[in-house]
Chain A
Amino acid sequence: MGGDKDQADDKGKAASPTPFRYPEVLAIADAKKNFSSIVRESSEALKLYMVGNALRREAPRSVILGEQALRVLLRGVQGHPVWEEDAEHHLWSVEVPEFEAVGQGETKEEAVKDLLWAVVELAEDYIEDIAFYFKIGWQDKLPFALAAFLAADDPERLRRLLGV
């Protein structure tokens, strides 16, 4: 009897449309109830959680991911600054095309400081209003916005990200 059951199970597996197991989706109510442990496990044990509406399965879901894992995901994000000197007015411009951010100053260092300011401001605005930036076609700049947002409190890290 047991053998028949195993065979039936194997047949069931073979008929499955995909060999992958779908991730378990945590219901919002359960996530709410266990939020502190979810935050601890995602940040410290690098566990990823997917949270969704249990009643509306087609509704968009959310992913809870620790900062450490997010930093790894964003490792490849890198700016390539373009410099230009206006000798007549003694002004330097620096633009990071990947994020369409620009800074200027009377020296290169002043231009970099201006650029850092612009990038942080823009990243904060992007994170606060992602829907707007998606509307203007900036979806591909989300990784840069996230990387800049995470580096905003560390000028050296931000400089490395921007390549200045």
Chain B
Amino acid sequence: MSDTKEENQLDFGVNSFPIKFLVSVFLISISPALLNVLGLDLGCAPSELNIENIAKWHLNGNITADRIFAALSGNLHHLILEWSSVMVATTTIFIAFSHFSTTKDVSSPIIGAAILCSGFMDAFHTLASVHMISTIADHSDFIPFTWTLTRTFNVGLLMLGAAISLNLNIRNTKSGLIRISFVTLIFILITCLSIYLAMNLEHLPQFIFPHQLVSRPYDIIPLTLFTLAFPIFWKLYKKTPNFLTASLIVALIPHVILELHMVFGSSQLFDNDFNIAHALKIVAYLVPFLGFILDYIRAHLIQEQTQEELAERRLRLQAVLDEAVDGIITIDSKGVIESFNAACIKLFDYSPDEVIGKNINTLMPEPYRKEHDQYLRNYHSTGDKKIIGIGREVSGKKKDGTIFPIELSVSQIEVRGKRIYSGIVRDISARKESENQLKTAVEDLQQTNQELESFAYVASHDLKSPLRAIDNLAQWLDEDLSESLDDENRNRLKQLRGRVLRLENLLDDLLEFSKGGQEFDDTEIIRPDRLIEEVKEILNIPNHIKVETTQELKTIKIPRMPLEQIFQNLISNAVKHNDKKNGHITISGETSGPYVEFRVSDNGPGIEEKFHEKIFEMFQTLRSRDDVEGSGMGLALVKKILYRFGGKVRVESEPGKGATFFVYWPLNPKISKNTSRRSK
């Protein structure tokens, strides 16, 4: 037992053959023989109870109960020994069925039935020996005959049972039970038939040959059979190694030894070897009985241990479920809630008692509530999955009716052919809220952006008409008053119109900026050198400034818009600010990584490093607008356009050393159409 206790598996097998058990049984089996060697005779006097003796005692007048009992002592010993065997054999069947109910091993009731039927035969033999069953044949031959018969029967049934067990592979309880009943019935039938035949035998051969080496030759049959049973029992043990099958083998030791006592020792009824044999028969019955009991106990221990483990596992699982941050619900195939973990209690405010047994749609707001039953039905009939194995964002309903957003993932589980669904529920209120906040913020920003752009558009467009009126009025004043106007006032009028012009340019640029790069969609693809030629013509570049392009530009293709705008602004800036007698502007470019890199270099005054960022801001000019006309929008526009398409712009420059503007135009422009300008 101690070495099998550590086993955790659910099969009830033994690891190794129980040698100690075998040795103990062997020692017990040879102990009577040893006692004989020590000179102890375990025999009884042969029965003196016959007609002549009784008549003699009667004549002598000493017919006492003591005398009768003394005369019967062999019979009585025989009765006690045999009946003990019968008791053990018949009890075995109960323990065999208990064993079967625990181990589900069909061999146990079959062996049990074999032993039971042997017990019946023994009972018959015993009862016949004390004349409780009347027989036809002569009594003195009948006892040894029925002994040999029951012995043969015993080993025959055991071998048959073992053989059946070896060939029965079914562990399924139902069909197993039918087979067991069938086998048991056959055993009983054989037993009854044998008893009936034995009772009706008229003539029996001589069974005991005293003073011969083989005093009971007929017992060689069971002796041989018990020897032959070994390989069958060994096979059974190998197939299902447990105490029962081991005990069958161990039981062969007393069986064989007792038969040896019978075959070679017993020369008459109730002698030493006769009694030893009968006593060893009890041992032979006790061994499988013990095997059953040991197996039974062990099975129970293992089962107990398994149940403890199961209970612990269940507790652990429950703890995992209860400690889970997410809600976990299981429902059956009809949608009835089966379990509801602790997180769910927090989520839904229901206690498990309130929802277990109710439909899952209790936790759902409309329209999910209505849809769910239909959905489950659909799923069962069509296998059409809406959520299983996918996970979705849906809504849950708390006890007080509050609806809150949840993320639900459902998986399907088959447990012993029963389909259940487990759902993991996560409250995503916080996430939803921040998503909404973000969405609102983005919408607000888009709105603001849009308003700003439409404002820029409206402002630049609608402000122009009064501006034009001011210009007209100033011009008319100048025309109409040309006679009487002094130079100072004429200059003021000129300045007035100059400012108007500047404001209009500013508005134009603002308009351009608000549209910034929107004409990209259906623009043509052009070589940069050609585009720059066109830009040069539009810009009316003064003669003292040379604008050159390098050869590599001829190998590149770019969209006309918005690069026309970009070059126009960069080149016009370079021209506008050039302070040299001979101005030089060079435009070069090549593909570089994910960009086309253009460089617009000039030999102008250069820009101090501290302004390198500032020049790209709106309305920034580095020189007085009276010196150089400019709205301060050009570079801001260039930057905005490039930013919109995923490009960038930067400047390298030092005062007095000219400036180089680097334009990075993406080879794969990302077109963000986040600005929807008003159409009018």
The answer to whether A and B interact is no
Q: B-contacting residues of A (Cβ < 8 Å)?
A: none
